[in-house]
Amino acid sequence: MLDLRVKDIADPSMPMVGVGMSVSELTRRLSSAAGVLVLDGGHPVGVLTRSDLLSFLEQRRGSEPSRRIASDDVGDPLISFWRGRRGASPTRRRDLQPVLELLETEERTPEGDFELLRTAFTSRYHWSYAAEAPQAIMGDWMISRAAAATGEGDLALRYARLAYDAAVANDVEDWLLASSAEGVARAYASLGDGDRRDEWFATSEGLVALIVDDESRELIASQLASVPR
């Protein structure tokens, strides 16, 4: 597993959609995929998931209960809604929602573990075209998280360190730096190295305390609290 490259495990078939695609077509695409890569002017701007679509439809039906979604409704309102959900920094983690949903699956099978890893690598592969440090860092963190959850401790540590080192080098937002440190603590926990786990847990804990936004601080603190001993 450690010798695999991203493109060796990534599924390149994640559907790509433009910002002007109709809601009905987006619904069709999401019926067979956990997420779609949204392009604006040919450049990737994020991953829109089934959860985003369902939330949009629920909100729209609530505001216009008698109105059905027409087949030719353009996707602009949905894209605007989706971008609004991603507005605050930590909610950019929604770009990783397909992986997070698999992580929450109870009693995963070996096939489920592979699907989790493949989805994490796929997300990172697609984000490599965005050429933006925060997305790359979140992608590496997500691979580490998936690897830790599937017992691939060495792989988890490799990508956790990639994420943390990049976070430090790029002077990212406070919540992302704290989250990347949490990833290193989790990776050491998956390797059974309690001393290094505790060292990085304390590092992340200190960084969490420095997060300015209350909601962001609570989110990353809860993430850190889930690191096993």
Where does the chain hold its CATH 3.10.580.10 domain(s)? 6-85
Query: What is the fold, at CATH topology level, of the domain defined by 93-225?
Result: 1.25.40
Sequence-separated (6 or more) residues with CB below 8 Å from residue 110: none
Q: What integer pLDDT is reported at residue 7 of this predicted model?
A: 43
Q: ∠ at Cα 201 (189, 97), nearest 5°?
A: 75
CA proximity to 132, closest of 124, 142, 120, 143:
124
Whole-model pTM over 0.75 = no
Q: At what angle do helices 194-209 and 174-191 cross, to 10 degrees?
A: 170
Q: What is the mean pLDDT of each run of 10 residues along the chain (229 residues)?
A: 44 66 80 73 66 75 48 52 49 58 77 85 72 81 91 94 93 90 96 96 94 89 92
Question: How far from 46 is each of 19, 20, 125, 215, CA to CA, in Å?
Answer: 11, 14, 12, 22
Query: What is the fold, at CATH topology level, of the domain defined by 6-85?
Result: CBS-domain (3.10.580)
Three-state DSSP class for residue 40: strand
Three-state DSSP class for residue 35: strand
Q: What integer pLDDT is reported at residue 73 of this predicted model?
A: 42
Q: What integer pLDDT is reported at residue 8 of this predicted model?
A: 45
Q: What integer pLDDT is reported at residue 181 of this predicted model?
A: 95
Q: What integer pLDDT is reported at residue 218 of this predicted model?
A: 92
Where does the chain hold its CATH 1.25.40.10 domain(s)? 93-225
Three-state DSSP class for residue 66: coil
Three-state DSSP class for residue 140: helix
